[in-house]
Structure 1
Amino acid sequence: MKTILLIVMFAIFLNPFAGISQELMNGQLIAQKTNDRNEGVSLKRDLIMELKDKRGKTRVRKTVALRKYFGKEKRLVIFYKTPTSVKGTAFLTFDYPDATKDDDQWLYLPALRKTRRISAANRGDYFLGTDLTYEDIKLETKISNNDYNYKTMGREKIDGHDCYVIEAIPKDASIEKELGYSKAKFWIDSQIWMMRKSESWDTAGNFLKTVKVSDIKKVQNIWTIHHINVVNHKTKHQTTFKFENNDYDAALGDDYFTKEALVDGL
């Protein structure tokens, strides 16, 4: 009996997840936990985007991003400040908690003096020259609860952090077409429930993108991402997102999160 007990204890030492029920290992539950983590009620931050093409030419875009929860509904707005060619551009998204209701997204282009609605069918389009899609921007490294069927593949370490590895397959052909992905893999930190890495494949099954998330640390007692790097293996283009001056205590009026505010700017 003592020998069996020692073997079990040794197995648990080698595998810290031993003894956890299979339900806790379920990929859908892991995805849900990324959505349940504390994000505060509001957030103001500077977002710097560095876009690098396959020849190494780099463009830098500076923006201010605001986020606020209206009950369970999340609203995100991004205002472009520099360079002059994109100054005044603004993006707004309403992320509804009702899975049966399509989220609303709008893009204001000052050169056209027009606010354009982004339909659900276009959510897989790339966001203003970056390597993330409109859907990726809206999710902010969370994992969709509704678009994929998940399967837990195992556990791996990313930068020394224990992560669950889950595979995601779109639930049907229409969702696959909308998202632009036929498959994805996510590495989810098992302690703080934030994505540390993802890989995705295009609708033809070709390896498409790698996303790496780093410099995650607490700001005002909330785990906060400060750096995301995205590499598009098909185009050899990459985008780096840097988040600075994160402030969860900023007083953000409701008027910032309207279509009218896109035109008026900050």
Structure 2
Amino acid sequence: MNKLLTITLGVALSTSVFAGNQAREVMEKVDARDDGDNMISTMQMTLIDKKGKKRSRQLRTYSKDIDTNTEHKTIFFLSPSDVKNTAFLTYDYSGDDKDDDQWMYLPALKKTKRIPASDKDAAFMGSDFSYSDMTDKELDDYTFKLLKESTIKRKDGNKAVWVIESLPVNQAVIDETGYTRSILYVRKDNYVLTRAKFYLKKGKRIKYMDVRKLEQIDGIWVAMQTTMTTKQGKQTLHKTVLTNSDVEINKPIDDDMFSVRRIEKGL
């Protein structure tokens, strides 16, 4: 083989390996970032259709670390009347092969529905977030590659970020999440995933996630406003805005808050 070609290939391969290792290290720090042992918040979910028509929903959210590998989350819908008393429960497992558990209580039917893995790529309550988006991702389900370093504009100044490509390791991960590829923008100063592009397996669509407002509360970085926009080409099909308020960090929460019986009972 031509010596110059050999050297060129060697540099390219070593650079690729380095980029992959660095990207994985960044994502491990994202995963390990302190997000508190538990959190309570009030959330407004605004749904915006392609014509700009808005619908708003009020939610109350609870999350708690049960142990180092398990987090429980409960969401109660407070208004409007057509979704009032609907509730969602997640058992988010990490570090093992156990699938996350999810349940949705539907008051109109007085029935709790378990969300199967085959449905986790579906829209969560008509939003641009999926059921899969409601849980943390397992790092071992993906390979990561550092594409570049860049900056993004924010009201408090430009923020340096790593731009990382995330690829599912197999078809099962694609089928569960609905994403064939993701581009992740991670802030260098705090390891917060602040922007992302998710390529959907259906319809040649892309979802754009953007943390528009980020605050530090009791030493914990909290996304106070997040948007998720679904586009096909340049056309916006739908948009969801999540706005947090009344955030409480590390306030005691009874384990009873995270049970099927509780979501059926309501707040």
- 2:8 matched to which residue of 1? none
Aligned AA (1:177): D
Match of 2:29, SS state, is helix
- The share of aligned pairs that are identical, in percent, is 28
- Distance change (3 Å), C-alpha of 1:23 and 1:71: farther
Q: Distance in 2 between matches of 1:210 and 1:227?
A: 14
Alignment of 1:159-170 (within 5 A): 159=153, 160-170=158-168
Q: Distance in 1 between matches of 2:163 and 2:222?
A: 21
Match of 1:233, SS state, is strand
Spell out, residue by residue over 1:33-52, the C-alpha distance to the aligned partner (whole angstroms, 9 max, x if none). 11101111111000110001
Alignment of 1:115-134 (within 5 A): 115-134=112-131
- 1:30 matched to which residue of 2? 26
- Residue 81 in 1 paired to residue 78 in 2? yes
Are the counterparts in 2 of residues 79 and 89 from structure 1 also a CA contact under 8 Å? Answer: yes
Deviation of 1:228 (Å): 0.4
- 2:206 matched to which residue of 1? 208
- Distance change (3 Å), C-alpha of 1:150 and 1:216: same
Runs of 4 or more consecutive aligned structure 1 residues displaced over 3 Å after TM superposition: 21-25
Aligned AA (1:135): S
Which of 125, 150, 165 is the equivalent residue of 2:144?
150
Are the counterparts in 1 of residues 41 and 248 from structure 2 also a CA contact under 8 Å? Answer: yes
- 1:47 matched to which residue of 2? 43
Instruction: Name which of structure 1's ranges 64-73 and 21-30 shifts more when overlaid on structure 2.
Output: 21-30
- Over aligned residues, Cα RMSD in angstroms? 1.8
Which of 186, 189, 205 is the equivalent residue of 1:188?
186
- Give the alignment's TM-score, normalised by structure 1: 0.87
- 1:100 matched to which residue of 2? 97
Q: Distance in 2 between matches of 1:84 and 1:146?
A: 41
Q: Distance in 1 between matches of 2:185 and 2:96?
A: 24
- 1:64 matched to which residue of 2? 60
Deviation of 1:29 (Å): 1.9
Gaps of at least 5 residues in structure 2 are: 1-16
Which of 175, 178, 185 is the equivalent residue of 1:177?
175
Are the counterparts in 2 of residues 109 and 115 from structure 1 also a CA contact under 8 Å? Answer: yes
Deviation of 1:249 (Å): 3.6
Match of 1:26, SS state, is helix
Equivalenced residues, count: 243
Q: Distance in 2 between matches of 1:22 and 1:150?
A: 11
Gaps of at least 5 residues in structure 1 are: 1-20
Match of 2:96, SS state, is coil
Spell out, residue by residue over 1:155-195, the C-alpha distance to the aligned partner (whole angstroms, 9 max, x if none). 11112111111111111122212211111100011121111
- 2:5 matched to which residue of 1? none
Q: Distance in 2 between matches of 1:33 and 1:207?
A: 29
Deviation of 1:248 (Å): 0.7
